[in-house]
Amino acid sequence: MGNRKAREHLLRREHEVAWERARTEERSASVDVHGRGIGHRRIQLVRRPAFEEGAAWEIRQQAEGWRAFRSRVVGGSWPDVRLVGYDPLKVDSAPLEGFFIRLAALSVPVSPLNGRAGVDGTSFQLAAFDLFCEWRVSWWEEPPPQWEGFGRIATEMVALFATAEIDCN
């Protein structure tokens, strides 16, 4: 009986340490956060304005539904953005699942060849994940016309997450 309680305590402590690391240690945006019960990462959106703090949001699929998490952009040179923090947000599950379904249904050219670049302004990265498969696209200010679907979904995500409160439960 004592060994079982000790194992449970050890697992609980490992879970707490993993969450503390996720909330405090700087990491690359391309690195997944791990923790017991956190679910599978499905979407990541990074928004990095030139002259203010940026943010990254992740949508995760859990057994009981979909959850959103927010991190701060703290540095790195584009496209290797560095993040810190991993705060769960109070957001209904349905729109999060809807973003994933819509994103997975898009059909777009891999290379838009629009010839745009910029220095100031806002840069975006949008990524989707399915276990060992993933893709990531990035654009400056407005997505190329061929990626309009990405831009529409990203704009809706930013609008939803910008007003979401941190879930302290």
Q: What is the mean pLDDT of each run of 10 residues along the chain (169 residues)?
A: 81 83 89 87 95 94 96 84 94 98 91 70 92 90 91 97 90
Q: Please check whether residue 168 lies inside any domain of the structure.
A: no
Tokens describing residue 42: 């499905």
pLDDT of residue 116: 66
Cis-peptide into 79, omega within 30 deg: yes
pLDDT of residue 37: 81
* In-domain check, residue 143: yes
* Predicted TM-score of the model (pTM): 0.89
Residue 33 lies in a domain: yes
Residue 118 inside a domain? The answer is yes
Cα 72 to chain centroid, rounded? 11
Residues 6+ apart with CB under 8 A from 76: 28, 29, 82
The residue segments making up the domain with residue 142 are 2-162
| Number of separate domains in the chain | 1
In a domain, 87, yes or no: yes
Dump strand ranges (E) for 98-160.
122-130, 133-140
| pLDDT at residue 68, as a whole number | 97
The domain spanning residue 139 has which CATH number?
3.30.1560
The reported pLDDT for the residue numbered 117 is: 66
Residue that is written with structure tokens 């017991």 in the block: 36
The DSSP 8-state label assigned to residue 27 in this structure reads E
Q: What is the 3-state secondary structure (H, E, C) of 39-108?
A: CEEEEEEEEEECCCCEEEEEEEEECCEEEEEEEEEEECCCCCCEEEEEEEECCCHHHHHHHHHHHHHCCC
Q: Measuring CA to CA, which residue among 86, 42, 40 is closest to residue 63?
A: 40
Q: Which residue has the tokens 């997944």?
A: 32
Question: Is there a domain that residue 90 lies in?
Answer: yes
Q: 169 lies in a domain? A: no
Let me know if residue 167 belongs to a domain: no
